[in-house]
Structure 1
């Protein structure tokens, strides 16, 4: 499996892990053990999965504080799927600077389309797009300029 597909699978498993953590508050070790036994896990980028899951859970409060200004309801009113996707997307925007911001947003949108509610992907896109403009202002501005010149 190519790297992109392996990372996408890793994000899907990280979403399952964060979702499970949000609903059960199980330990990360228990969640990792459970997910590692799910069919298809061997095709995921396991190192990336572990890094994203652990960092997202460890930094959840700070990540919520980052995206909260861009939602028009309380974090506690988010669906668990949207909540988990926003946590993962925010984690990647803040701390995985080797991944272009557009890739982070597109991957989050795909997760929301597959696992979220009807218009969840639009909500996730709007929140992460505004957050990217704040967290990665230089990268976002460079992309806007490049689009304007082509």
Structure 2
């Protein structure tokens, strides 16, 4: 027999900019975020479907909402990841605890996008690159795939953006040190 008393738990608060499932709402996404999503979809067709780049590109550009993305960034990601896939895999593979072929296609593509941006999109801060790749994995990948993407890109970032990562860590340590001194 079940207890008839109602639950005392307060209702969940809606997080702004997210759907009820935790996915970012389309209206809150930047043009660059949208370009990453379209690039992920195009690269998925390339990796899983084996489709040629020209037909993938034409199909993707006709999708609803493509006009809201940063088309130049989309082009750079899709063509860059395809052209440099061997180099990107060479960066990623040593950070894995399994063979590249055992990765889910979504995780693999998220890592490609993240590694490509760390190498070539120097106008995008490394923490933004990491966050965007993780968000793609959360939205399109498996349950915990984003954690794996995070771990691999977190291992790559110091090697690919050495000065930027070190400057951020130094600033964080300086802030942490100030907080520790005020606690005494």
TM-score by length of 2: 0.78
Within the candidate set 44, 69, 87, 2:94 is matched to: 69
Displacement over 4 Å in runs of 4+ = none
Query: 1:129 aligns to what?
Result: 154
Provide the secondary structure at the position in 2 that maps to 1:73: coil
Query: 1:60 aligns to what?
Result: 85
CA distance in structure 2 between the aligned counterparts of 1:26 and 1:58, rounded to whole angstroms: 15
1:113: Cα distance to partner? 0.6
Matched, 1:18 2:35: no
Within the candidate set 105, 121, 142, 1:96 is matched to: 121
Within the candidate set 98, 101, 105, 1:80 is matched to: 105
CA distance in structure 1 between the aligned counterparts of 2:167 and 2:60, rounded to whole angstroms: 38
CA distance in structure 2 between the aligned counterparts of 1:66 and 1:97, rounded to whole angstroms: 17
CA distance in structure 1 between the aligned counterparts of 2:161 and 2:112, rounded to whole angstroms: 16
- Structure whose residues are more often helix by fraction: 1
1:25: Cα distance to partner? 2.1
CA distance in structure 2 between the aligned counterparts of 1:25 and 1:61, rounded to whole angstroms: 16
Matched, 1:28 2:53: yes
- Root-mean-square deviation (Å): 1.4
1:134: Cα distance to partner? 1.1
Unpaired runs of 5+ residues, structure 1, are none
* Structure number with bigger Rg: 2
Within the candidate set 161, 169, 177, 1:144 is matched to: 169
CA distance in structure 2 between the aligned counterparts of 1:95 and 1:11, rounded to whole angstroms: 14
